[in-house]
Amino acid sequence: MARRKEAHGGHGWFVTFADLMALLVSFFVMLVAFSTQDSQKLQVVAGSMREAFGVQDKVRYSGVIEMPGLPTRPKLKNAAPIPPEEASANPTEDNRGSQQAQGGKFDNDRNFALAAASLRQALQDMPEISEISKNIIIEETRQGLNIEIVDQNGRSMFPEGEREPYERTRQVIRRLAGPLRAMPFRISVAGHTSASRLPPRPNYGPWELSADRANAVRKQLETEGVPSAKFFMIAGRADTQPLFPDDPYIAANRRVTITLMREEPPIPQNYQP
């Protein structure tokens, strides 16, 4: 009966053990690498992913500390090929007006981006920013640039049922007044309440309360030097425009919205349609 020869030159289990150790080392290296993040690179990666996959077309800023990633790349329109002999640097009469409108919109968007950055910087300079950062939302909408002063559970910006804000709210408004005073936009202030299951106070309901809170913010902005001519509208919305429509009773629906108005650019004096 033939005898089987024994294998020489190493043990099979040692190779498997070495592979396991190499995988463990790689795993711990990855843990160490992820433990220290570069916030700027992280925002760039987040913006690139959003641009590539299109998973987020609207951005809501939950607090003044957050910053967006890369902006969404605009799509190229009217990309039909044009023969070289028909190309011209001068726009035709029918598209000169559209080009001026697009140029005005680009300037407006750039001004809103600069305004948002200026407002966030002003709020970040506050020593107590860690306490009130969750109460401020800065968001660009169709109407303009919104600065939302919202309530949070356990931290309200106005006493319950009262029109005058807390001192911490006044500090926020005081800090916002400087940039708002220097910006060219007109300002709209709107008060909002959350839905309530309790009966309203006699002769003083959500409409009166929301309007009075908006007016109180307007008064303090004027006290801090914002010209009264810059105010476009002061309004009370009650609970008709909740920030979170799925749950109209939560505290975050109680807020005062300061809006930098998006308006059509002025028509040049020598413009002829």
Top CATH class of 93-261 equals alpha beta
Per-residue pLDDT for 145 more than 70? yes
Give the closest residue to 152 by CA, choosing from 164, 138, 135. Answer: 135
Which pLDDT does position 59 carry in this prediction? 47
Of 8-17, 93-102, 188-197, 243-252, the one with minimum mean pLDDT is 93-102
pLDDT band of 152, cuts 50, 70, 90: confident
pLDDT band of 86, cuts 50, 70, 90: low
Per-residue pLDDT for 101 more than 50? no
Per-residue pLDDT for 133 more than 90? no
Give the closest residue to 214 by CA, choosing from 242, 241, 238, 234. Answer: 234
DSSP-based three-state secondary structure for 87? coil
DSSP string, 128-180: THHHHGGGEEEEE-SSEEEEEEE-BTTB-SS-TT-SSPPHHHHHHHHHHHHHH
Per-residue pLDDT for 146 more than 70? yes
pTM: 0.60
Tokens of 39: 């916030």
Segments making up each domain of the chain, as ranges: 93-261
Mean pLDDT of the chain: 77
